[in-house]
Structure 1
């Protein structure tokens, strides 16, 4: 399980705590909020707002009030409720894509020692070239690799989501059904990452990286 635990210490300077820029911290928490909101809309439409189930309920409730509607009319009302939530899901998707673009651009403007790619390369180099702090470097490399996979999943989710959002305007996009399948599958992968990430942070907080959550709030100040 140690491979999923984030490390609070800098791999090149183990005596120092990692620093997180205000931009990265802002992106991290906004991203968490947007992904949570997006997943909640999917959960809502998959449970409480299922069109077929709600159509039956709507028709029954109206009938008890003396109003008669057809199955098609009841489905139309239920579908409208579901569509409103999917529209909210789309807005979350636009925001996620904007945050992803912000994160990619941020990589070019970050301080050199806080660039993600540099940290990944540094951990790999440390692991390959020196025995000193080898386990720490190996751990850091695999944690960063998992994060890199997460970024790829976000890119996939954003691209396929945008394709689905604009499929009515671009006939070619509507004809490619794989976008919906990839989008749904990637959602499950992101859910898996979230569970792994939370578990890793929880374990790290209980061991030798206490304060790792507060570091993502205050930037990594020495305690």
Structure 2
């Protein structure tokens, strides 16, 4: 029922000439929040709870009147780090669910609003029809980057779930370590995409694409 209702709403919006369907706008902003939260947990653990901060924890506890060894201070820091990673894992579950919903929504969207038909149309316009090649090239690059972004999300979801359930997958520890490294590498690629995306939106707002942000909020007009 939750999927059918947005689909019906999207059909209505499409008849009114909406540029972006309601489910895509919802997905866009919730996805932004989840990825931002996930990146924030990584930043917190890499800065506040790394090994270099154990002496700070120890000194603060000593100043508070406690008698603390290096090992005990490390245990406190490690415990706090585990709490943050728990939040990170929950963000990962939310991202996996959201990615699945995005795949489902793709089948319910009008053809003009689906990613692959848009990419195919841009490809044909640039390589086959060879008309308005500058605009077609821009559209091809933008949609190609979005496709790469979705592939990166898929990799993040799969590797994240493998790490979250590593006690049950039976995968060897050295392979799990490689999966973790690859998961972290893809996170940096997603971060790079976000920077490019924000820069592109900023430049478009200053040029001939004014209203991109508001269109992603209210749907825009075709």
Question: Which is further off, 68-77 or 123-132?
Answer: 123-132
- Cα distance in structure 2, aligned partners of 1:135 and 1:199: 20
Question: Which is further off, 172-181 or 205-214?
Answer: 172-181
Q: In structure 2, the residue corresponding to 1:49 is in which secondary structure? A: coil
Map 1:25-104 → 2, pairs under 5 A: 25-50=25-50, 52-104=51-103
Map 1:1-223 → 2, pairs under 5 A: 19-50=19-50, 52-172=51-171, 174-176=173-175, 177-221=177-221
CA deviation profile, 1:37-67 (whole Å, cap 9, x unmatched):
00011001111222x2332122223333442
CA deviation profile, 1:118-144 (whole Å, cap 9, x unmatched):
000011111123343221111101110
Q: In structure 2, the residue corresponding to 1:168 is in which secondary structure? A: helix
- Cα distance in structure 2, aligned partners of 1:183 and 1:19: 34
Against the structure 1 CA distance between its residues 182 and 72, is the aligned structure 2 distance closer, same or farther, given a 3 Å change threshold? Answer: same
Higher relative contact order, structure no. (Cα contacts within 8 Å, ≥ 6 residues apart): 1
- Cα distance in structure 2, aligned partners of 1:71 and 1:199: 45
Number of aligned residue pairs: give it: 205
Q: Tell me the CA shift for residue 72 of structure 1.
A: 1.5
Q: Tell me the CA shift for residue 169 of structure 1.
A: 2.5
Unaligned runs of 5+ in 1: 1-16
Contact 1:164-1:174 within 8 A present in 2 as well: no
Contact 1:164-1:173 within 8 A present in 2 as well: no
- Cα distance in structure 2, aligned partners of 1:20 and 1:42: 32
CA deviation profile, 1:91-138 (whole Å, cap 9, x unmatched):
001111111111111111111111110000011111123343221111
- Cα distance in structure 1, aligned partners of 2:155 and 2:129: 36
- Cα distance in structure 2, aligned partners of 1:207 and 1:173: 52
Unaligned runs of 5+ in 2: 1-16
Q: In structure 2, the residue corresponding to 1:31 is in which secondary structure? A: helix
Contact 1:45-1:82 within 8 A present in 2 as well: yes
Give the TM-score, by structure 1 length. Answer: 0.87
